[in-house]
Amino acid sequence: MRILVIEDEPGIARFLKQGLEEEAYAVEVADNGLEGLARALEQAYDLLLVDWMLPGLSGLEVCRQLRAAQNHTPLLFLTAKDTVQDTIAGLQAGANDYIKKPFHFEELLERIRVQLRPAAGPPERFTVGPIALDVATHQVFRDDEEIALTQKEFALLEYLLRHKGNVCRRQSIIEQVWDIHFEYNTGVIDVYMNALRKKLRLSKDEDYLQTIRGIGYVARD
C-alpha cells in the first residue's frame, strides 16, 4: 500500500513517514502542494495524507484539482484548524476524511485502514501451488496465465480448493458439485478430474490435486 504524505513541516513529515513505514506502508513525502499534486496525479497511490496548510498550493486546492482531474484516490486531511467551516469545505472538495492535530497516531492508523478497507475488499480467492481461483471474476490462473475452464470444471476445482487439505469423498463431491443426492455409479468425477489436471498441466510431480484411492480427492500444497 503506497501512501503519499504532503506536509511541509519536516518534523511532522518525518514522524508520519517513520510511523507509517513501521506499519508496512510505502511512504513518500512531498513538502509542498504543487509537487504533491503533480506526484499524486502521475503516480498511483493508495492514499493521500494532506496537510491543510501548505506553502504554494493549499491542501484544499490540491484536493479540488485532484478531483477535478478525475482522480479519486482516498484523501485524508491533517488539519490544525478545527473550525467546522474548514472541515466542511474540505469534505465538499472531495476529501474522504480529516483528522485534527494534535492526533493520536493510533487514531490516524485506524482512519487510514478504514479508507483502504473497501478498496482491498474481500476477494474470494483460493490457491494451491501455482493454481489460483477467483470466485468473483470466475477466473482460474496457473502462474498468472489464465486458464479457461467450463462451468463444471470450475465448480469442481472450487469445491476442492474450498476444502483444501481435507479429503473430499466422491459422495460429497457428487452431492455438492453435481447436486445428485442418491446413488450414483458414473465416472463423471474421474473424467472431470482428468480434464482439470490436463488443463492445469499438473503432472505426477505437481500433484496438487491428489487421488485418495477408494475415497476421493484432495487439494494440497
Partner DNA sequence: GCATCCTATGCGCATTCTGGTCATTGAAGA
Partner DNA sequence: TCTTCAATGACCAGAATGCGCATAGGATGC
Interface residue list for DNA (CB under 7 A): 148, 150-153, 170, 178, 186-188, 190-194, 197-198, 211-216
Q: Which one of the spans 2-10, 47-55, 132-140, 172-180 is the region binding a second copy (CB under 8 A)?
A: 132-140
Asked whether position 204 contacts a second copy by CB under 8 A, the answer is no
Among 186, 200, 123, 205, smallest CA distance to 157 is for 200
Contact 98, 90 (CB under 8 A): yes
191 makes contact, choosing from DNA, a second copy, none, with CB < 5 to 8 Å by partner type, with DNA
Backbone angles phi, psi at 77, to 5 degrees: -90, 145
Supply 209's cell numbers. Answer: 490435486
Q: How far is the CB of 181 from DNA (least distance, A)?
A: 14
CA pseudo-torsion sign 62, 104, 82, 85: positive
Instruction: Give the whole-angstrom CA distance, residue 10 versus residue 13.
Output: 5
Supply 219's cell numbers. Answer: 487439494
Q: Which of 13, 27, 37, 96 binds a second copy (CB under 8 A)?
A: 96
x/- binding map, residues 99-118, to a second copy, per CB under 8 A? -----x-xx--xx-xx---x
Contacts of 147 (CB under 8 A, 6+ apart): 140, 141, 199, 200
| Nearer Cβ to DNA (33/216) | 216
For binding to a second copy (CB under 8 A), which residues are involved?
A: 70, 72, 84, 87-88, 91-92, 94-97, 104, 106-107, 110-111, 113-114, 118, 122-123, 136-138, 150-151, 165-167, 212-215, 218
